[in-house]
Structure 1
Amino acid sequence: MKDNRDPGTLDLLGPAKRGRGRPRKADALSNAERQRLHRARVKAKEQIAAVSADPGLQLLAATFRDLIEAEARAKAGCTSDELTALLTRAVNRFS
């Protein structure tokens, strides 16, 4: 045992050794938390796959993509003929 007030004494046991392996992080997840997050990711992927398999939703998503593209091109200064073609293509999907 070392006397902290006496600078001449030596520590007989030496410094404390660190345990084996990599030190644990303070914000590390437990196994249960990791499994819960994994199940949530798998469930989300299944839901996305179910939505993407529905042809009606695919049609609606394609239409929204065209409308978003038309809006972006309008902001970028696209010509009115190109915008009209995009909007016509979006509307004709439902005809």
Structure 2
Amino acid sequence: MTLTLAEVEHIAQLARLELSAEEKERYCQQLSAILDYARRLQELDTEGIPPTASVLPPRSVLRPDETAPSLPLEELLRNAPQTQDDQFRVPPVME
């Protein structure tokens, strides 16, 4: 699939990119090659291949949750620029 220059310009506009004429031409060729490769992959017969999420054995990288005592409130709020009613006071985001 060959992309036109207008399609590359549209993609660049959607991505809010300002491209030079040279970059547009280069990306036109590169994106077209990527789409051609994806098209070739779609033509492969994968009927006998089971779907997999990974070729690696499943493992968890997360540690188990453990309860622990927290900091005292006074120490927790000590470095806060502003506090109010034992809470952090932050500037309003919306008016």
Short-chain TM bin: 0.3 to 0.5
What's the TM-score, normalizing by structure 1?
0.32
TM-score by length of 2: 0.32
Name the structure where helix makes up a greater proportion of residues: 1
